[in-house]
Structure 1
Amino acid sequence: MKRILIQLDTDPLASVFDRVVAVDAGVDELFSYGSVSPEAAVSLTHGAIFTRKVADLKSTAIFVGGSDVQAGEAVYAKVLHSFFGPMSVSVMLDSNGSNTTAAAAVASAGKHLALKETQAVILGGTGPVGFRAAQLLASQGASVKLVSRHATKASEACVQLKLLELPGTVTPHVSTSFEETTALCEGADLLVSAGAAGIELAALKELTGTGIRVVVDVNAVPPLGVRGVESTDKAKEREGMICYGALGVGNLKIKIHKAAIEKLFTSNDLKLDTQAMLGIARELTELA
């Protein structure tokens, strides 16, 4: 039975990145659709669940992607709502690569820190990766400062996360300068920089003495999010801190992405979303 992955992308053109990873993960057939709306997702999902015997549905899976995270979440929700009884296939959500990247960032930090006891600062905390990194850290019991340039956005993001009833805490904070960021890092263990591409949000030299032990910067576009971190850094010590750059994290992100796609075909009822990606990331880091 051939393994078929149905790619539902909310952008006009389905992501080449996601297509390449799917092929490298060993998918036999890849059906890619662009500009997928929640309404269109219903008929596409029905096409996936009505064409094979129930026992064979584990050989069909759906991947929801695209650059718009909210649009992807709406499509993902509609896909799940279209299932009934035994008529379902496994589904993976990774719009903008946010779930796999956040999982890679948190798992990388977890190699050096006990996440349950970690005090974390997330820069760009209202963005796709920052928000999900905050969610994953709080799910492990960490205390998280979710930082944005806008107080309202930070507060709204924290309200959303509190609805998930996570064991850790997430509090909103504002920073518009290196000085304010440095002050927020006092007494913290981990800094994750997940702001917009090409915007510096912090500097390693200014973080010395704050208590920060691990720095993860997921921005690959110069100038990077944390001055002094290199994109290729992978557990590289700089200024007394363990640093990860975007490419250093990216290697694990790709492994998580591939492993998740492979996992889709082990059952017909898996839901691989934000939290599930961290579980896969941990499995991979334990094996490494």
Structure 2
Amino acid sequence: MSDATPILHMLSPQKHMSPFDVNMAADAGYKVIVPYINVTLEEVTALTQDAIFSRPPDFGKRTGLFIGGKDAILALDMLEAAKKALVPPFELSTFADPAGSFTTAAAMVACVERVLRTKFNRGWKDTRIAVFGATGVVGFAASIITALEGAKVKLVAHRGVDRVIKSAAVSKERFGVDLEPAPGETAEQKAAIISDAEVIFAAAAAGVQVISAHDKALAKDLMVVADVNAVPPAGVEGMDLFMDGAPLPGCNALGVGPLAIGDIKYKTESGLFKQMINSDKAVHFDFRDAFAFARTLTT
């Protein structure tokens, strides 16, 4: 491994780079961290090539590029643009984790997978999943991860089904998965979705409750509910922050709470940063790679 100084260039299409991600990168071992804000997709190629051509080829393995923001598709497009800008042997490592949501989604799926395996002797194949907050980055990534594992995934729409139809179309085009848009605006629609679900992902915005005590009582086949919301009120009524496969009050399902997920999320993001620093070649990470790593922490 090269003894070159580990340098991380952090790109955000927004006006701020997340302090969370900066801290994570520093604690993982990056010695020089430079944030770039208001970055457009068209600027990624030039920034990437400035980073690779300014160091000897052997230093590329110690040069990283992180992509933040809050837009999953834009982050993936920027990641692809950075990879296409590489000119071997001049390379660097890349990692997309907009709003920390790719690693959060990976952690949520891995935690629920562990509960399914240890408590129900089940995997993802043909498991019926309802995703609340499906248009957010966490819901988007979790939907694709589980669909790639063979699950049957519904994207629940709260304010018009058009947005989840678009998400399903993008997911099919990019990843070849079939996700089912499901209108959930009325009480009747929501009840039908919950009654059919075996797993629920509550990935709505912080402080928004999407599953009430009444909703839980409708769930006859529900095995596991996961909630990433640590801001009161809980996304799932009765969910404890630290719950990790414990019985969820008011139903027969087991709960996975936000701090149990957060522990694996933290270790996943940190672990991927460390892999970037310590790898003997350039590596490239998106939510699929994050899930592969999170799995190693939950088996």
TM-score in terms of structure 1 length: 0.91
User: Is 1:57 aligned with 2:60?
Assistant: yes
User: Is 1:44 aligned with 2:57?
Assistant: no
Name the structure 2 match of 1:227.
Answer: 237
Name the structure 1 match of 2:285.
Answer: 272
Encode CA deviations 1:181-235: one digit per residue, 9 max, x unaligned.
2321224220001112222211245324421111011122222221111333232
Equivalent residues of 1:182, 1:210 under 8 A apart: no
Equivalent residues of 1:178, 1:201 under 8 A apart: no
User: Is 1:183 aligned with 2:192?
Assistant: yes
Equivalent residues of 2:168, 2:179 under 8 A apart: yes
- The offset of 1:138, in angstroms, is 0.3
Q: Give the counterpart of 2:76 among 73, 76, 79.
A: 73
Name the structure 1 match of 2:260.
Answer: 248
- The offset of 1:78, in angstroms, is 2.4
CA–CA distance in 1 between the matches of 2:56 and 2:109?
Answer: 39
- The offset of 1:112, in angstroms, is 1.9
Compared CA separation, residues 152 and 81, structure 1 to 2 (3 A) = same
% identical equivalent positions: 30
Name the structure 2 match of 1:257.
Answer: 269
Q: Secondary structure at the match of 1:116?
A: coil
CA–CA distance in 1 between the matches of 2:150 and 2:29?
Answer: 35
Compared CA separation, residues 155 and 137, structure 1 to 2 (3 A) = same
| Unmatched tracts of structure 1, length 5 or more | none
Encode CA deviations 1:19-44: one digit per residue, 9 max, x unaligned.
11111112222122222222332332
User: Is 1:12 aligned with 2:15?
Assistant: yes
CA–CA distance in 2 between the matches of 1:128 and 1:159?
Answer: 15
Show the 5 A alignment for 1:1-288: 1-113=4-116, 114-149=123-158, 150-164=160-174, 166=176, 169-177=178-186, 179-204=188-213, 206-208=215-217, 209-239=219-249, 240-265=252-277, 266-286=279-299
CA–CA distance in 2 between the matches of 1:77 and 1:180?
Answer: 38
CA–CA distance in 1 between the matches of 2:222 and 2:198?
Answer: 4
Encode CA deviations 1:251-286: one digit per residue, 9 max, x unaligned.
111111001111113144322012111101111222
Cα RMSD over matched residues?
Answer: 1.9
CA–CA distance in 1 between the matches of 2:293 and 2:187?
Answer: 34
TM-score in terms of structure 2 length: 0.88
| Unmatched tracts of structure 2, length 5 or more | 117-122
Aligned length, in residue pairs: 285
Equivalent residues of 2:171, 2:179 under 8 A apart: yes
Equivalent residues of 1:181, 1:202 under 8 A apart: no
Q: Secondary structure at the match of 2:115?
A: coil
